[in-house]
Each structure stands twice: as C-alpha cells, then as structure tokens.
Amino acid sequence: MQIYPTMELLGGRCVTLDKGRLESPMLWHVDPVETARGWAAEGASWMHLTDFDAVQGQGNSADLVEEIIRSAGLNVQLAGGMRSREQVTTWIDRGAARVVVGTLAAKQPALVAELAKFYPDQIVLALDIWQGQVMTEGWREAAAMTPEALLQAYEAVPLAGVIVTDIDSDLRDAEASMGVISGLAPHVRAPLIASGVVRGEDDVARLKYIPGIDGALVGRALFRKTATLKALLAQATPGKELRAEFL
C-alpha cells in the first residue's frame, strides 16, 4: 500500500484545515521544502500536495509549489485549483507527476476523460463526500449526483487513482470514514486512495486488509507527531508470510 505524506499550503505556509475552513487554518512552523525533502530522505516515493491559494483562485504559492516539485526528490501528486485544461497541462509541464481534479471532474467529465487518455497515469479523481453528497468548489457546493454515479461516469476512464475523503468524519471518526471508503471500493476501478483516516500505525494496518484500498494520504498525523513516516511506511509494506517449520 502506498503512503502519501501530505502537505497543504496557504500563503506559503504549511497548514491543516478543519473541514476545509480556510478562514481558520492551523499553522505548522516548518519549512515546506525542507519538510518534503525530509519525507524523501525517510523513504517516501510520493507526496500529496494541496495548494489552497490556487483553490481560492490565487497564485500566491505557485513558485513554492514548483520548487517542491523540482527539488524534493520524490513524486508530487498536486491538488488545488485544477479548474481547466490549461491548469492541468501547465502543472504537468512544470513537473507534477500527477494532478488531482475534483470540481472539474464533476462539472466537465468529458474533458477529464480526454485528459486522462492523453496523460495516462497522471490524472487523479478527488471524490469528496459530505453526508452522502459529492462536494465541489473546495467543499463549498454539493454536486447533483451521488458518489456512486460519479464513479460510474469514470468507470472506463484510465485514471491514475481516486482519492476518497469523507468530510463528515474529518479524522474525528476514522472508523466511520473507513466504512464509507470501503463501501465505495467495489465501485472504483482505479487505485483507491483513502484520505482522512490515518492517525497512526494501527489505521494503516487496518486499511491494508480492506479490499480495494491501494493507498492513504497522511498529513495531520505527521505534523502532530502522532505517527512517524518511517513507521507508517514500514507498516504499509507487505511483510513476509510466517511459515511453521517441521522437522
């Protein structure tokens, strides 16, 4: 299972948000570039990066995002403000290994399907769910479709992955989020990446045995130091099967 250490940027600072509330971010006093380099040094091959300035239609963090992409030493899966073909292609050209689309995927599925075919293994669908509804526009608007219907629309599209976030739980009830995510797993043909459910090693251990889950985003737990990346990566690695030896 792939672990994606996760960084969220706002105004050039590392933050975490409570249910996407941009007005009250929790700030982390760390250097974003050095933090990303540290994750690479600990063995991560991927990271997930969300630019909340781009979500708000601003480009304040664009240079910082590009610096992380070019100097961190790992693959960057980039989310935030991907609302047009031009924004997706620009960031792929600037070195993002994958780009994540949510609002664009709900509103322009034909365009996203075209992009996925043109950029195989580089387009990821973000499926954000609030009380059974698909949310768009930075979790501010409900789309006129169910999560299952959106997944069905992309059943034949060669997506690099699908990130499922249960906004309603938002790390307060990881068990409920795991239930939502595992319930959607049979509807997902692309690799399924769980978001908002990992607080420690035990959560990774449980996720490993849920059929259809291929990865997990982990951000708050790393910044709060309730888990170490090294331990999470070790937990996510398949272990050797134990065999009894008989003489």
97 φ, ψ (degrees, to nearest 5): -70, -35
Looking at 51-146, list the stretches that DSSP marks H as alpha helix, in order from N- to C-terminal side. 52-55, 62-71, 85-93, 103-107, 109-118
End-to-end CA distance of the chain: 35
The full DSSP string for 172-241 is: S-HHHHHHHHHHHGGG--SPEEEES--SSHHHHHHHHTSTTEEEEEE-HHHHHTSS-HHHHHHHHSPPPP
The catalytically annotated residue of 8, 51, 53, 170 is: 8
The catalytically annotated residue of 128, 166, 170, 203 is: 128
Please identify which residue in the block is written with the tokens 């009250």: 24
Which run of H or of E encompasses 148?
A: helix 147-153
Q: How far apart are CA 138 and CA 136, in angstroms?
A: 6
Active site residue 8: yes
Active site residues: 8, 128
